[in-house]
Amino acid sequence: MATLEINDLHVTVETDGGPTEILRGVDLTVKQGETHAIMGPNGSGKSTLAYSLAGHPKYTVTGGSVKLDGEDVLEMSVDERARAGVFLAMQYPVEVPGVSVSNFLRTSATAIRGEAPKLRTWVKEVREAMERLSIDPAFAERNVNEGFSGGEKKRHEILQLELLKPQFAILDETDSGLDVDALRVVSEGVNRVREGGDVGTLLITHYTRILRYIKPDFVHVFAKGRIAESGGAELADKLEEEGYEEYVKGGATA
Task: Give the helix/strand (H/E) hosting 246.
Answer: helix 245-248
Average pLDDT over residues 134-146: 93
| Separation of alpha carbons 209 and 109, rounded Å | 31
Report whether pLDDT(248) > 90. Answer: no
| Residue 39 clears pLDDT 70, i.e. is over it | yes
- Quick one: pLDDT band at residue 40, thresholds 50, 70, 90? very high
Sign (positive or negative) of CA dihedral 30, 31, 36, 42: positive
Per the DSSP assignment, residues forming a β-bridge with 72 are: 67
17-21: Cβ within 8 A, 24+ apart:
19/60, 21/62, 21/225
Q: Helix axis angle, 119-132 relative to 180-195, nearest 10°?
A: 130
pTM over 0.75: yes
Which region, left, alpha or beta, applies to residue 78 given φ > 0 means left and ψ of -120 to 50 means alpha?
alpha
pLDDT tens-place string over residues 218-229 = 999 999 999 999
The domain spans of the chain are 3-94+167-248
Tell me, what's the pLDDT at 250? 67
Whether 170 has a pLDDT exceeding 90, the answer reads yes
Closest by CA to 41, choosing from 182, 216, 249, 253, is 249
Predicted local confidence at residue 4, as pLDDT: 97
Confidence at 177, pLDDT banded by 50, 70, 90: confident
pLDDT band at 252 (very low <50, low <70, confident <90, very high): very low
Strand partners, 144: 96
Q: What DSSP letter does each residue of 108-126 carry, written as one string? A: HHHHHHSSPPPHHHHHHHH
Homologous superfamily of 3-94+167-248 = P-loop containing nucleotide triphosphate hydrolases (3.40.50.300)
